[in-house]
Amino acid sequence: MITVNAIGDACPLPVVKTKKALENLEAPDMVEVFVDNETAVKNVTKFVSQTGKKAVSKKIEEGRYQILIDCTGNSEEKDGSKEIQPEKSGGCAENTGNAGGTVVVISSDRMGEGKDELGKVLMKGFLFALTQLDTLPEKILFYNGGAQLTCEGSDVLKDLEFMQEQKVEILTCGTCLDYYGLKEKLKVGSVTNMYTIVETMAEAGKIIKP
């Protein structure tokens, strides 16, 4: 059992401490967090359920609450949150090293520097070739110019849809969709944010960037 003491900490410190504790967990375990106010109970509980784990809280005495977080990997509860993708499994063990899967990062609708026309053809070829890999990537991130590829009018939707069916997670940057006015036009995968993008990259076993 790992204990986090957030007694006397003002918002948002209890969430920050809990986040650190979950990230530093080296093996499946239970984590208990102590806080002294209800706001902290609610915020820590929200944070935990967003990561796909389960938490129960109880008031021990006036000004002392315990939140018990199951990081044993036995509770595969998934939260309904759509914008942020919970970690694939409920366990914390995943975070320990670079045991993560392959992540492909697409930051443009073109591949390489040179003529735009060629770049687009190459990108199309790259995504098709990707579908032919024996082991598909775990996730594909699309941002900036890359965001156009997951939206209406893209000529690689078929390949992306195929990979999605094979359980490849397709994530497109929400800020980018907004910027290019494509929010309503997303055709494949879901919307993500910078926080998830950074975490996905940080936890990846291997990053492929064409």
Q: Which residues are catalytic?
A: 11
| CB 50 to other proteins: min, Å | 5
Cα distances (Å, whole numbers) of residue 197 to 36, 55, 140, 191: 33, 25, 10, 11
Residues that bind other proteins in the complex, under the rule CB under 8 A: 11-13, 15-16, 19, 37-39, 42-48, 50, 80-84, 174-175, 178, 183-184, 186, 190-191, 193-195
Nearer to other proteins among residue 130 and residue 188 (C-beta)? 188
| CB 127 to other proteins: min, Å | 21
Element (H, E) at 34: strand 29-35
What is d(CA 139, CA 163) in angstroms, rounded to the nearest whole number?
Answer: 10
Question: Looking up tokens 């990846």, which residue turns up?
Answer: 204
Nearer to other proteins among residue 111 and residue 151 (C-beta)? 151
Q: Could you tell me which residues are beta bridge partners of residue 22? A: none
Q: Is the peptide bond before 86 cis (omega within 30 degrees of 0)?
A: no
Token pair belonging to 180: 């290019």
Nearer to other proteins among residue 84 and residue 93 (C-beta)? 84
